[in-house]
């Protein structure tokens, strides 16, 4: 846990003492909370330093907690008047935070709704409610297809651009031992990793469906398109020439890191871990399109919001800080330090960023990305996991399993929205 540094205290008290003597120059201290992740803390340190240099009358102290305790601490602190003035939260938690009266809407004069609609990537509009924005991200994440360059070369294939090429390339890179056991997969698979996003927001749409209706309150994949998407996905492992095995090497990302997988679908947050893997030569490309060239993607993000605790001059300082952390400059810092993608096309789609060999495919994916509004992400993921397990482990008819999954997820959504 990071407590305010001695220096920060010294500055604050010195400034406080000065203000007593000279009056109008006000020293305001605001508190910022986020969960602990090395790069995020380092990036925020840089941003705070720059912000304080530009606003000498404001001091920002950052506190961070292990991810596991984060939600509990925020929930306990803000009602007690102890917590942060500006807080970071996962986009999927927004409804809970709004209902619990933990955050307040961003003021329309500093954050004009039309300007945000126009300037940010479209999926950020999920943060809008009652005609105003409640929170805004600095950075966003999306999915792309990682590939192992050595295995591609060995099999003589190119990075795929559509689903047919994906299957062909995966088949060329799959290896089987004498007993028929797969020892190298062409494409990793596992609903427990990122595949549930790929299936919902990408495959279902590419097979002609619309995964949810009614602002993500109604499940809509128990359809012909959903069935085709499911058959395609399960077929990767169960067809005559399987190109993957579920649970191969325990985790998809482990198989890819170990060089035992030709291709792997994952988020931009995986870049750091892969960069530090020695001996792995990898590249990345956009998620494959369908036969008609239609593409889709899934995006998620963490947002910052002003809490209900911030009032008066702290509120004004918090607004200024929010403006800074959602500025173009802050987004570039976040991309350079954390590797997360800028939330505005004006920063993301610069020539340098959009054509970057690593970040480029993710950033281009943002233009057509969708953001699932989860009520309970792990619960809804579990519905996908079990949908596949019922087919592969219990031999259930895929259509029946699809119906059960849709019912299970609908129940989670109904329970959530009826409770609020």
Partner 1 sequence: MYRNLTIKQKQIVWAWAFLALPVLFYSVIRFYPTGNAMLISFQDWNLLGTRTWTGLDNYTTLLSDPVFWQVFRNTFIYLLLGTPVSLVVAFAIAYHLDKVRFMHGFLRMLYFLPFMTSAVAMAWVWRWFYQPVPVGLFNNALASLGIPQVNFLNSTTNALPAILAPAVWAGLGFQVIIFMAGLRAIPRSYYEAARIDGVSTWTVLWEITLPLLRPTIVFLVVFSSIGFLRIFDHVFNMTTNNPGGPLNSTKPLVLMIYQTAFSSFDMGYAAAQTVVLFIVLLLVSLLQLWIMRDR
Q: Which is nearer to partner 1, 170 or 191 (CB)?
A: 191
Q: Which residue in 32, 97, 334, 359 binds partner 1 (CB under 8 A)?
A: 97
Beta carbon nearer to partner 1, 183 or 355: 183
CB of 328 vs partner 1, minimal distance in Å = 32
Return the residues of window 187-206 that contact partner 1 according to CB under 8 A. 190, 192-193
Q: Residues 238 to 257: which contact partner 1 by CB under 8 A?
A: 245-251
Strands (E), 36-162: 58-65, 86-90, 103-104, 128-129, 132-133, 136-148
DSSP 175: E
Number of residues engaging partner 1 in binding (CB under 8 A): 37
- Return the residue of 194, 204, 390, 398 that touches partner 1, per CB under 8 A: 390
91 scored as a contact of partner 1 (CB under 8 A): no
Q: Does 267 bind partner 1 (CB under 8 A)?
A: no
- Return the exposure string of 230-242: e unless at least 16 CB atoms fall within 10 Å of the residue's CB, then b: bbbbbebbbeeeb
Q: How far apart, in whole angstroms, are the C-alpha atoms of residue 402 and residue 225?
A: 11
234 binds partner 1 (CB under 8 A): no
User: Cβ distance 237 to 245 under 8 Å?
Assistant: yes
Using CB under 8 A, pick the residue from 9, 11, 71, 208 that binds partner 1: 71
- Closest contact distance (angstroms) between CB of 389 and partner 1 is 5
Q: Is 282 in the site for partner 1 (CB under 8 A)?
A: no
Instruction: Decide if residue 362 touches partner 1 (CB under 8 A).
Output: no
Nearest to 40, CA basis, from 5, 88, 72, 85: 88
Gap between the Cα atoms of 376 and 412, Å rounded: 7
Distances (CA, A) of 58 to 9, 31, 35, 82, 98: 12, 11, 22, 19, 27
Non-local CB neighbours of 42 within 8 Å, separated by 6+ positions: 337
Distance CA 363, CA 221 (A): 27
Residues interacting with partner 1, by CB under 8 A? Answer: 68, 71-72, 75, 96-97, 99-100, 102, 177, 179, 181-184, 190, 192-193, 245-251, 260, 376, 378-379, 382, 385-386, 389-390, 393-394, 419
């Amino acid at each position: 846990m990071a407590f305010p540094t001695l220096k920060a205290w010294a500055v604050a008290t010195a400034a406080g003492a000065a203000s007593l003597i000279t009056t109008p120059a006000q020293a305001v201290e605001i508190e910022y909370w986020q969960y602990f992740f090395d790069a995020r803390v380092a990036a925020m340190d840089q941003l705070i330093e720059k912000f304080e240099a530009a606003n000498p009358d404001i001091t920002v102290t950052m506190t961070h907690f292990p991810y596991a305790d984060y939600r509990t601490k925020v929930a306990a602190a803000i009602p007690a008047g102890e917590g942060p003035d500006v807080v970071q939260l996962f986009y999927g938690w927004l409804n809970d935070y709004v209902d619990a009266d933990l955050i307040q809407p961003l003021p329309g004069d500093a954050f004009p709704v039309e300007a945000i609609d126009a300037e940010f990537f479209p999926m950020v509009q999920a943060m809008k409610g009652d005609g105003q924005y409640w929170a805004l991200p600095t950075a966003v994440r999306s999915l792309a297809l990682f590939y192992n360059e050595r295995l591609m070369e060995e099999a003589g294939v190119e990075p795929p651009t559509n689903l047919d090429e994906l299957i062909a390339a995966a088949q060329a890179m799959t290896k089987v031992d004498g007993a028929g056991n797969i020892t190298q997969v062409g494409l990793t698979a596992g609903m427990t990793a990122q595949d549930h996003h790929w299936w919902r927001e990408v495959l279902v749409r590419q097979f002609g469906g619309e995964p949810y209706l009614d602002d993500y309150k109604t499940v809509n994949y128990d359809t012909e398109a959903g069935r085709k998407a499911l058959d395609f996905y399960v077929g990767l492992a169960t067809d005559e020439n399987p190109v993957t095995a579920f649970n191969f090497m325990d985790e998809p990302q482990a198989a890819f890191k170990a060089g035992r997988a030709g291709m792997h679908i994952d988020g931009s947050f995986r870049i750091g871990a892969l960069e530090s893997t020695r001996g792995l030569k990898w590249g990345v490309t956009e998620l494959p399109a369908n036969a008609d060239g239609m593409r889709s993607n899934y995006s998620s993000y963490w947002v910052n919001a002003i809490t209900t605790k911030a009032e008066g001059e702290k509120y004004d300082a918090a607004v200024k800080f929010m403006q800074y952390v959602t500025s173009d400059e802050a987004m570039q810092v976040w991309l350079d330090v954390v590797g997360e993608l800028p939330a505005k096309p004006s920063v993301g789609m610069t020539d340098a960023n959009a054509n970057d060999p690593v970040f480029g495919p993710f950033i281009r994916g943002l233009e057509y990305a969708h953001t699932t509004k989860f009520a309970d992400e792990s619960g809804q993921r579990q519905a996908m996991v079990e949908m596949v397990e019922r087919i592969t482990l219990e031999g259930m008819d895929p259509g029946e399993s699809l119906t059960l999954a849709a019912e299970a997820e609908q129940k989670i959504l109904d329970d959530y929205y009826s409770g609020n």
